[in-house]
Amino acid sequence: MLNEERAIAATLEAIRAGAPAAEIIVVDGGSSDRSVEIARARCDRHIEVERGRARQMNAGAAMSSGDAIAFVHADTIAPPTFARDIGSALADARVVGGRFDLVFDIHHFAFNLVATMINLRSRIMRSATGDQAIFVRREVFEQLGGYAEIEICEDVDFVRRMRRVGRFACLRSHVITSARRWQRAGLIRTILRMWMIKTLFLAGVSPAWLKRHYANTR
């Protein structure tokens, strides 16, 4: 989490509703707004670490105690069936983790189409982005050494490594994610930039270089 005072309450309340028994840990990367104050009233534990998405997720996982770990971005709303969906997927011993379908918080044809394409591509390729609430068995997370603490594409890298050790579940229940960065940078421009970033990352381009050219869409 980083300066998410407008979104974090709804995010945490949705997780609590969808996973009442879950341990909710919020990891803050140095917020200067009211995010921490709002989050503390709605989570089980709160910690602060140096800013960095992979670093923050690894820190939260290290503090957790459950058999499964789910990573939910601060502007993402989990479904009411969140825990049940994850439990059903992991009931198959061959499944090491997975992700949810996504929809945007804007009901517009273009955004609906983009979400559909993201979900379809993800299902075909068995891939995911962090916006899709990636979840994983604890033993698998630890076996893989968690997220690589790179500047960008930590989600792409992690899912790619997960697929090497077992099945990756693509759930059809959906999370709702914010469309703000798509709106800010422009829908088509954001799509093209994201495709370019992932292609270059998989081709071996430095995450540090990619971060410098991707920062305005995060």
Tokens of 77: 């709303």
Instruction: Give the count of domains, the chain.
Output: 1
- The domain that holds 54 is classified in CATH as 3.90.550.10
CB 88 within 8 A of CB 68: no
How far apart (Å, rounded) are the C-alpha atoms in residues 84 and 171? Answer: 11
Q: What are the CB-based long-range contacts (under 8 Å, 24+) for 42-48?
A: 42/8, 42/9, 42/12, 42/13, 42/16, 43/12
Q: Identify whether 1 is part of a domain.
A: no
Assess if residue 3 is contained within a domain.
Answer: no
Please check whether residue 125 lies inside any domain of the structure. yes
Domain that holds residue 47: 8-217
pLDDT at 114 (0 to 100): 94
Residue 131 covered by a domain: yes
Is the CB of residue 131 less than 8 Å from the CB of residue 177? yes
* Residue 208: inside a domain: yes
The pLDDT value recorded for residue 155 is 96
Tell me if 31 is assigned to some domain: yes
What is the C-alpha to C-alpha distance for residues 117 and 124, in angstroms, rounded to an integer? 10
Residue 2 lies in a domain: no
Per-residue pLDDT of the chain (218 residues; tens, 9 = 90+): 999 999 999 999 999 999 999 999 999 999 999 999 999 999 999 999 999 999 999 999 999 999 999 999 999 999 999 999 999 999 999 999 999 999 999 989 999 999 999 999 999 999 999 999 999 999 999 999 999 999 899 999 999 999 999 999 999 999 999 998 888 878 888 888 888 888 898 888 898 888 887 655 44
Asked if the structure places residue 64 within a domain, the reply is yes
Instruction: Note the pLDDT of residue 215.
Output: 58
Q: What pLDDT is attached to residue 132?
A: 98
